[in-house]
Homo-oligomer: A and B are copies of this chain.
Amino acid sequence: MLDERTERVLWAVIQSYIENPDPVGSRYVTKKYAFSYSPATIRNIMADLEDMGYLKQPHTSAGRVPTDKGYRYFVEHIISRDIGYDERLVEELERRIKNMVEDMDGVLNEATKTLSTLSHFLGLAISPGPEGSTLRRIELVPYKDDRIAVLILTDEGVIKHKIIKNEFSLTANDLSSIAKYLNREFTGYTIKEIRNQLVKELAEDKNLCDTLIERALKLCHESLDEYGANVFITGLSSILDLPDFTDIEKIKELSKAIEDKHKMIKLLDRIVQTEGVQVVIGSENPIKEMSAMSIIASTYKDKDRPAGIVGVIGPKRMDYKAVITLVDTAARYLSKIFEEGGGK
């Protein structure tokens, strides 16, 4: 643990570096943060901090810059003490989503935009995977020719529609019976359970003739196929205005990383394993292309079940306290919204 004075110096360096991405010198620290010690003393302390790995010098005669470990120390303190509540975020969100009813994707999209606007970084949200949602109702509607429109409604407001081929030439009546059967059989189960069940039953019945039930199961199986989570990332242009992104290579890496949505989901699932705001600083990130960035993310709940993820991606040099507060507020707000049942 650091003694209080050392900690204050670390804090001052980080604070200053966040405001302005120039290496911080000892003289500057004493003046700006009104230390009652001379620059020489501060220099000694900063040398200590460098030995311990909290700061480093870009080159011999430059000031100091925080390391990932330095940020980490700083962030631990914030998380254990200072998470507040961001009024503006809630107001802005209220305003934006007031006309949305049960449109979770729409709400999440607005949430990323708001997070991006308020943080000036990338706003990020992942919709709940369907696995945990509970089926409420499934509708089969004849479309045209040999097509069927399937509408899937879940308790959590996750909805999906899909058009599939009607390979068995089912009539409207057949469809209605099948829908009744499926609703009776599967309502109240989670998508995951249903999918498992389907695989099992289809395997067992493999050798039976084409009963209506088998067709129903196949239809259902096809409908639940490719029923994946959505990723929303907003704000690339605002992040480019930061002085941190003068290097084209960094921009390329970042834009590649966020274009690969699949990778993004995997990354965030890995990060957000436990409850509460999670902070990943620079090289703590398993994706090495993002080692210049930090991720602040949290899960939001949907009917008391951890559902999707919401967060902010920005440069390591960020106002962690503000962003953590922002993300925490967003996660809580979304949880509240979805608990009440959709938009408003």
A residues apposed to B, CB below 8 Å: 101-103, 136-137, 139, 141, 143-145, 147, 149, 151, 153, 155, 157, 159, 161-165, 234, 236-237, 240-241, 245-246, 248, 251-252, 255-256, 259, 341-342
Contact = CB atoms under 8 A, between A and B. Distances in A.
A256 B103 CA distance: 26
A245 B144 CA distance: 48
Contacts of A151: 139, 141, 149, 151, 161
Contact of A251 (B159, B240, B256): B240
A14 to B, nearest CB: 26
26 contacts: A101-B147, A101-B165, A102-B143, A103-B163, A137-B143, A137-B149, A139-B139, A139-B151, A141-B153, A144-B341, A147-B341, A149-B153, A151-B161, A159-B161, A161-B161, A236-B236, A236-B255, A237-B252, A237-B255, A237-B256, A237-B259, A240-B251, A240-B255, A241-B252, A245-B248, A251-B251
A139 B163 CA distance: 14
B103 A162 contact: yes
Contacts of A251: 240, 248, 251
A256 B238 CA distance: 8
B147 A136 contact: no
Nearest to A163: B102
Copies of this chain in its oligomeric complex: 2
A251 B239 CA distance: 12
* Most chain B beta-carbon neighbours within 10 Å: one of A163, A164, A234, A252: A163
* Most chain B beta-carbon neighbours within 10 Å: one of A103, A139, A149, A157: A149
Nearest to A160: B161
A243 to B, nearest CB: 11
A193 B241 CA distance: 45
A20 to B, nearest CB: 19
Contact of A342 (B103, B147, B153, B159): B147
A165 B165 CA distance: 31
Contacts of A141: 137, 139, 151, 153
Contacts of A101: 147, 162-165
B147 A102 contact: yes
Contacts of A163: 101-103, 157, 159, 342
A157 B147 CA distance: 10
Contact of A246 (B149, B245, B248, B255): B248
Nearest to A343: B163
A251 B153 CA distance: 41
B341 A145 contact: yes
Contacts of A161: 151, 159, 161
Contacts of A164: 101
